[in-house]
Amino acid sequence: MKFYIATDHAGFALKPFVIDYLTQKGHEIIDLGPDSDARVDYPDLAKKCADAVIADSGSFGILICGTGIGISIAANKIKGIRAALCHDAYTASMSRAHNDANILCFGERVVGKGVVESILDAFCNTSFEGGRHAARVNKIEDCCSFGRVE
């Protein structure tokens, strides 16, 4: 699988571990930053990764912030992105099987490295089941209402 990865400062320390783990498993992973743990705003990194995934058909993304919450919310604003916030292997697996998730998110402050490995394995080793789930996934885009909510 081909992955783009980005974090904010609160997910930065976990990034090399994830890159090493996926590389050892034979996956391609492209680091979109940041290059230091200086404070950054998670929506900026979410957009960078989401735009890369949309531009590169068939690719996936990984986004990490402190909780995974902000960065997943931001990524899901991008048309075509299905970002799943997963802190266990079961939801990571289901995010692929039922939701065809194209970005995996988690929080560095929430999970340890062992759990991260199990999440990554579950996400990588599970395929979208299609069928009835495909119709539901197609409807997700119908939920988009364009324009800013004031």
Choose the catalytic residue: 27, 87, 98, 133: 98
98 in catalytic set = yes
Distance of closest approach, residue 66 Cβ to ligand RB5, in angstroms: 3
Distance of closest approach, residue 119 Cβ to ligand RB5, in angstroms: 17
Q: Which of 15, 34, 67, 103 binds ligand RB5 (CB under 6 A)?
A: 67
Q: Which of 45, 65, 75, 122 binds ligand RB5 (CB under 6 A)?
A: 65
Is 42 near ligand RB5 (CB under 6 A)? yes
User: How many CB atoms are located within 10 Å of the residue 88 CB?
Assistant: 14
Tell me, residue by residue from 4 to 23, as one string, x for binding to ligand RB5 by CB under 6 A and - for no binding.
Answer: ----x-x-------------
Cis peptide leading into residue 34 (ω within 30°): yes
User: How many CB atoms are located within 10 Å of the residue 76 CB?
Assistant: 20
Torsion of CA 47, 128, 17, 105, to 10 degrees: 40
CA–CA dist 41, 136 (Å, integer): 32
CB 50 within 8 A of CB 72: no
| Per-residue tokens: 10 | 């609160």
Q: Which of 33, 41, 66, 140 binds ligand RB5 (CB under 6 A)?
A: 66
Residues that bind ligand RB5 (CB under 6 A): 8, 10, 42, 65-67, 69-70
Q: So which residues are the catalytic ones?
A: 98
